[in-house]
């Protein structure tokens, strides 16, 4: 699952906590892949709902609750990756993010019977998602995977 808290001393106002699978401990690759996909998707859902999501302990009356920018570390791409190829976990993460953004766009189209509703919904959607790579290998692999996933 994913939960949102305040950003505390971070520059970000909010922080969404999601933990990916430890591939050393999963019963199968399929189980790990399912858990990894779920971690990204749940974080995206929490972000799309903003601080007004049930179960989130943020009470910010000044905010409309929307999150427009989201940054992910590369979930399960470090020691939790085990023997899984880095490209594999990055591709799953990127596919999960893109799928969730496309699903959100479909929901927007279905829920927009008037231009005013469409504008209201759009104001609550994510505008930008960042993936944060830290090592040269992660950066190079992420670029390669992003080219393949996003450009075909």
- Of 13, 31, 25, the C-alpha closest to 82 is 25
Distances (CA, A) of 88 to 84, 85, 130, 142: 7, 5, 18, 10
Q: Which CATH number applies to 2-151? A: 3.40.220.10
pTM for this model (two decimals): 0.80
The domain segmentation of the chain, as residue ranges, is 2-151
* Distance separating alpha carbons of residues 141 and 121, to the nearest angstrom: 34
DSSP label at 9? T
What are the backbone angles phi and psi of residue 24, rounded to the nearest 5°?
-65, -30
- Per-residue pLDDT tens digits for 89-127: 999 999 999 998 888 666 655 655 544 444 334 445 678
CB 39 within 8 A of CB 76: yes
């Amino acid at each position: 699952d994913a939960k949102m808290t305040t950003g505390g001393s971070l520059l970000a106002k909010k922080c969404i906590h999601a933990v990916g699978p430890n591939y050393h401990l999963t019963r199968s690759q399929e189980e790990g892949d399912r858990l990894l996909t779920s971690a990204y998707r749940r974080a995206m859902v929490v972000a799309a709902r903003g601080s007004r999501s049930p179960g989130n302990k943020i009470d910010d009356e000044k905010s409309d609750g929307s999150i427009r920018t989201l940054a992910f570390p590369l979930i399960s791409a470090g020691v939790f990756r085990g023997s899984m190829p880095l490209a594999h976990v990055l591709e799953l993460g990127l596919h999960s993010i893109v799928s969730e953004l496309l699903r959100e766009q479909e929901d927007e189209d279905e829920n927009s019977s008037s231009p005013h509703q469409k504008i209201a919904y759009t104001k609550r959607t994510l505008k930008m998602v960042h993936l944060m790579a830290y090592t040269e290998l992660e950066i190079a692999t992420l670029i390669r995977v992003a080219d393949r996933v996003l450009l075909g």
